[in-house]
A = this chain, B = another copy of it.
Amino acid sequence: MEQQRISDQIAESLMAKIAEGELKPGERLPAERALASRLGVSRPSLREAIQKLNSKGLLETRRGGGTYIREGIEPSFVDPLLAILKELPESRFDVLEIRHALEGSAAYYAALRSSESDKANIRRKFETMIGKHGIGDPMDEARADAEFHLSIVEASHNLVLLHVMRGLFTLLMSSISHNLEKLYTLPRVFQPLSNQHRRLMEAVLEGDPERARQAAQAHLTFVEESLQQIFRQLASNREHLRELN
């Protein structure tokens, strides 16, 4: 009675992989023949599954080119927001407030649920983030920072949370990208940041939920205050310029 079409099973499994982030938007799917043999199914069955996802708008197929995962899946939460943020710069801190609430929980559940591979991934992202510092590309460093935080969110094994956080990061990146370098180049800001990241990671790796939550919240409080200072400074600079006119 539990007889499910295998094309449905395939479609479900692919959707799960997209939802879990194993397959990222814009990425290319393996060729049909290769994927079919890897999944141990026939090519027609795989194609039926692909057509379904295609009609749902999750995939995009170009004849002779390949099958790609459609972009614009995350913006379902974010899309209307980009317009808002352009009109209302103050809402930058709205994003930080939400991160403050969410990252604490993410760290908490990550400490509880993370598998060994999750932990290895977090460590790897931490190392690359450290390695990016001082090379001179603040945007690259910011991306590595975001990926470190997202690796913790992934380890929380909450798919909805992962999607929301991804949306928030793209939002944050696009709204304060020009001010990010300040956050990474000032030594008296970077050193505490690095320490906070390390404490957060260690709490998660050791499986201490409460400490992880506190570490995440302390980190976000610091980021929030640092950005506040930077923006205040910029504002006062603008004031000075205005006086000079």
Contact = CB atoms under 8 A, between A and B. Distances in A.
Interface of A: 3, 7, 11-12, 15-16, 18-19, 44, 47-49, 51-52, 54-58, 63, 70, 73-74, 76-85, 87-88, 90-91, 94-95, 97-98, 100-102, 104-105, 109, 158-161, 163-164, 167-168, 171
- Chain copies in complex: 2
Contacts of A58: 80, 83-84
Given A77-B81, A160-B168, 18 more contacts: A11-B55, A12-B87, A19-B84, A48-B48, A48-B51, A73-B81, A74-B81, A76-B81, A76-B82, A80-B163, A81-B160, A97-B105, A97-B109, A97-B158, A97-B161, A98-B158, A101-B105, A102-B102
Contacts of A102: 98, 101-102
A227 to B, nearest CB: 15
Contact of A159 (B7, B19, B55, B85): B85
Interface of A (DSSP majority class): helix
B88 A159 contact: yes
